[in-house]
Every structure is written in structure tokens, then in C-alpha cells.
Amino acid sequence: MTVRVQEQAFDLGAEVQAFAFGRDDAGAVVNFTGIVRNTPDGDLERMEMEHYPGMTENALKGIEAEAMKRWNLKDCLIIHRYGTLRPGDLIMMVATASPHRGDAFEAAMFLMDYLKSRAPFWKKEYTTDGAEWVAAKHEDEDALTKW
Amino acid sequence: MIDVLYFAWVRERIGLPKEQVETSAATVAELVEELKAREERYAAAFEDVSALRVAVDQELTDFDAPLAGVREVAFFPPMTGG
């Protein structure tokens, strides 16, 4: 179980390779990667990702521990960035390793649903029109009820 | 003394990320009332607490959470990670 909260970019290929490499206990590795999406008008200049140092790491570790309890996982990894991000930049990734793919897929979905609305991150988008905090979506909160 | 932290638009509206507050409030809700009574910028930030979330000692909780023995309280809007 690993959690990394960092400002600098991460190498997606290297991270997934290192996570999957050398395992003989897990037949399935699932990776989800979050990317900064541009606005429909294509005018996103940057995104500032704010977080709550200390609580962020603890919240993510708690979410991982819950996933390890609910599914048959051999390992999981969360990397989440903060600071200035631009369209197309990788924001975050999760990876899960399990003997079979069902648990790996479900646990990855669970990690994503929980970290979206239970880990203390806030996004502010800067477009050519100005700056605006991204509002939380009701469907993100609703997504938690299925777990 | 309790460390009070603000994030995202709550931080912007109040104008600072963190402050030490001398308080005898028994709950988070009472602390909010004390802060609102201070100045307009606090009253504006806490106008609708249903739009806010609170963490006590870095754990998400409710506004009726007790403050006895607490070191840190943080106020922020609903989170938007991922």
C-alpha cells in the first residue's frame, strides 16, 4: 500500500511497470489515470490544485486500507499531484493488484469514487475569462452510496 | 488555543489560510457563530454552512462535533479530487 502526494509530474509508464513487475501473487493489475481536461471551448490556461497537507495523506491511506479490507488485493497505489497543472497533464493515478480482475477493477473504481469526494483536494480553473473554483458534483457524492 | 485552517474559496473569502483562535466554544457550530460575529468577511464565508465541510484534527466530521481537547479545525467547500 502506497500513497504519494506530490507537486512534480510522475512517469505513468514507469509507475505502472514498477507496480506490476515481479509479482506472482496477482494475476490482474488495473490502472486508472486522471488527466486535466480542457474546457469545451479549449480556453483552460491552467488548474491550481490545492490540498490539506497531512490530512490528504491520511485520508488516502484510510481509503486504501478500506479497499484492502473489502477486496482481495495484493497491493494498491495512489499518486495524486497538487499545484499548477495544465491541460493534458496527468493529475493522479491509482493502481490495484489482485489475483483476479474483478477485484482489481472494482477496487480501482472504489478508490476513485472515494478520493474524488473524501480526500481534501480542491480545483480552481483559470480560463481566458477568469478563475473559478470547480464545484463538487452531486453524482460524485451519489457514487459513494453504491459502495 | 485552536489552529483554524481555511481552504479554497473559504480561505479566499476570509483572506488567510490559518490562524490561532482563543475560544471557549464547545462545538464546531459554536466556533462558527463566534467567527461570524467577528467581521463581515467571516459572516460571508460562513453564511451557508450546508455548503461547507469541516475537519477536526484532520478527520471529516459534523458541525455538532465537540471541541474539547481539539488542536486543529479546518473549514472548506466539498472536495474535488481526482
Q: Is residue A98 part of a domain?
A: yes
In this prediction the ipTM stands at 0.94
Q: In chain A, what residues touch B18 (CB-CB under 8 Å)?
A: none
Q: Is residue A29 part of a domain?
A: yes
Per the CB < 8 Å rule, is A133 touching B8? yes
What's the CATH number where A34 sits?
Answer: 3.90.1170.40
- Give B24 to chain A, closest Cα distance, Å: 25
Can you give the pLDDT at residue A144?
87
The SS3 assignment for A53 reads coil
Can you give the pLDDT at residue B8?
98
Condensed to tens digits (0 to 9), the pLDDT of residues A87-139 reads: 999 999 999 999 999 999 999 999 999 999 899 999 999 999 999 999 998 88
Cell 480545483 belongs to A123
- Which among B7, B59, B79 has CB closest to A117? B79
Asked if residues A132 and A124 have their Cβ atoms less than 8 Å apart, the reply is yes
Q: Which domain holds residue A80?
A: 2-132
Asked if residues B63 and B54 have their Cβ atoms less than 8 Å apart, the reply is yes
DSSP B6-70: E-HHHHHHHT-SEEEE----SBHHHHHHHHHHH-HHHHHHTS-GGG-EEEETTEEE-TT-B-TT-
**Percent of chain B's residues with pLDDT above 70:** 100
Q: Is residue A58 part of a domain?
A: yes
Condensed to tens digits (0 to 9), the pLDDT of residues A22-69 reads: 889 999 999 999 999 999 999 999 999 999 999 999 999 999 999 999
Cell 499518486 belongs to A79
Question: Does A143 score more than 90 pLDDT?
Answer: no
- Give A16 to chain B, closest Cα distance, Å: 18
CATH says B2-76 is which class? alpha beta
Predicted model pTM: 0.94
Q: In chain A, what residues touch B76 (CB-CB under 8 Å)?
A: 52, 120, 122
Question: Does B80 score more than 90 pLDDT?
Answer: yes
Mean pLDDT over each residue of chain A, to the nearest integer: 96
Q: Is residue A143 part of a domain?
A: no
Report strand pairing: A2-6 vs A75-81: parallel
CB of B45 less than 8 A from some CB of A: no
Condensed to tens digits (0 to 9), the pLDDT of residues A51-62 reads: 999 999 999 999
**Spatial distance between the Cα atoms of B42 and B34, rounded to a whole number of angstroms:** 9
- Give A88 to chain B, closest Cα distance, Å: 14
Can you give the pLDDT at residue A146?
86
The structural domain count of chain A equals 1
